[in-house]
Amino acid sequence: MTTSEQTRAHRLRVMSGRDPNERHRAATPLELLYDLTFVVAFGVAGEQFAHLLAEGHFAAGLTAFGLAIFAICWGWISFSWFASAYDTDDWAFRLATMVQMVGVIILSLGLPQVFHSIDDGRPVDNSVTVAGYVVNCGSRCSSCGCARPGRIRRGAGPARHMPPPSVWHRPAGSYC
């Protein structure tokens, strides 16, 4: 690779929709690592749920597990939709994805507090979980900000099926 090609490879790219006819797209190593952070979050939620079930606290366990799974899945689905809809793999997208992974880990660290507060009948102590979600969503919204009108090349993939920018009613980051 020449020096000019290396320089060009590290620049920000214009966000474009994925080609719907693309066959056999494999997950990138970064996407797989991102998924592993969610495996950790599901594991923490499952371990806390099993602990409450072993103590016979079925209602508290089920309630806390439902809240935890909702919070985890909400972040996972948002990223999965965005990563599968847009074909962006520049340094800014990678950095935003890594920050989102840190947010998922922070969210996971707060799950035991959520389970214990629900089990004790106290108000839900979700401060750490919410902080993790804010880190995750803040980074995701910065990625969505790159999807603003003028930054999307319309012609291939899901972006082709989006309405023209003149009829958009919500700002780009409001979907996060």
Confidence check: pLDDT of 4 > 80: no
Q: How far is 41 from 58, CA to CA, in rounded Å?
A: 20
170: closest CA among 153, 147, 151, 154?
Answer: 147
Which pLDDT value is given to residue 156?
A: 46
- pLDDT tens digits, residue range 87-99? 677 788 888 889 9
Which pLDDT value is given to residue 82?
A: 79
pLDDT-based confidence at 163, cuts 50/70/90? very low
Q: How far apart, in Å, are the Cα atoms of 134 and each of 10, 105, 171?
A: 28, 12, 18
For residues 49 and 61, the answer to whether their CB atoms sit within 8 Å is yes
Q: How far is 129 from 72, CA to CA, in rounded Å?
A: 10
One DSSP character per residue, the chain reads: --HHHHHHHTS---EEBPPTT--SPPPPHHHHHHHHHHHHHHHHHHHHHHHHHHTT-HHHHHHHHHHHHHHHHHHHHHHHHHHHHB---SHHHHHHHHHHHHHHHHHHHHHHHHHHHHHHTSPP--HHHHHHHHHHHHHHHHHHHTTSTTSEEPSSGGGGGSPPGGG--S-GGGG-
- pLDDT tens digits, residue range 108-150? 999 999 999 999 999 999 999 999 988 988 877 766 655 555 4
pLDDT-based confidence at 161, cuts 50/70/90? very low
